[in-house]
Amino acid sequence: MQFDHVTTWVFDLDETLYPPSVPLFPQIEARMVDWIVATMNVSRSDADGLRARWWHDHGTTLAGLMREHGQDPEPFLEDVHRIDFSVLSPDPELRDLITMLPGRKIIYTNGTAPYARDVLAARGLDGIWDAVHGIEHAGYAPKPDAIAFERVFAADGLDPTRAAMFEDSPRNLQVPHEMGMVTVHVAPERAQGSHVHHHAPDLNAFLRGILAPVPGA
């Protein structure tokens, strides 16, 4: 499956390491809308429209707030990540599969590292990672910006040509593809484009395929 050369496995967090049906990120989006309403004195409808536009135009809602309104990122991130993690359930099989991958395993999310650790703990996936990188490690530049990947990967010391990236957002796979990474789109439906090398509608099943012995080897 073209993974023999991979020595670093990079996983996104939200809706990659848990199913998109889990109502976790909608909680964050609702808190983002609350923040925009409170700080910009607009209606909820307008606030939700701004949230969606900033995500589309800038990569994240936070990036739009920072670039268009000079928002301090830390209070915003702390507030929107105060959510109910009990909607997540542990996945022992996924933990075992990730643990068995040969090489380093890291998280890279547009959320914060503390938030990522809360999600990982709720999923029973804590304690198996060599590094957890949040948006703060990219200087608050978001995926899909090239500078965000460059900052995080340089700080981590990984070689992109010997790494694989697992992501639910296809636009976040474009730069990894250009950097020489193997790209895996984790989502129910495969995205189009040559920058998507593999599709994993079921992450556990996909990882089982990577780890399966090669017949005759």
Residue 200 confidence (pLDDT): 98
Residue 108 confidence (pLDDT): 98
pLDDT, tens digit, for every residue of 64-102?
888 888 888 888 888 999 999 999 999 999 999 999 999
Residues 166 and 185 in one domain: yes
Residues 94 and 185 in one domain: yes
In a domain, 2, yes or no: no
Residues 45 and 140 in one domain: no
Residues 47 and 111 in one domain: no
Residues 133 and 174 in one domain: yes
Residue 1 confidence (pLDDT): 55
Residues 76 and 158 in one domain: no
Residue 215 confidence (pLDDT): 61
Residues 44 and 15 in one domain: no
Residues 50 and 15 in one domain: no
Q: Higher model confidence: residue 213 or residue 174?
A: 174
Mean pLDDT in residue range 129-158:
96
Residues 65 and 132 in one domain: no
Mean pLDDT in residue range 144-162:
97
pLDDT at 167 over 60: yes
Residues 106 and 204 in one domain: yes
Rounded percentage of the chain residues whose pLDDT exceeds 90: 76
Mean pLDDT in residue range 119-146:
96
Domain count, the chain: 2
User: pLDDT band for position 211 (50/70/90)?
Assistant: very high
pTM of the model: 0.89
pLDDT at 178 over 70: yes
Residues 183 and 161 in one domain: yes
* Domain end point (choices 80, 104, 120): 80
Q: How much is the mean pLDDT over the chain?
A: 93
pLDDT at 16 over 80: yes
Range of the domain at 131: 8-19+90-211
User: pLDDT band for position 158 (50/70/90)?
Assistant: very high
User: pLDDT band for position 163 (50/70/90)?
Assistant: very high
Distance between CA atoms of residues 66 and 176, nearest Å: 24
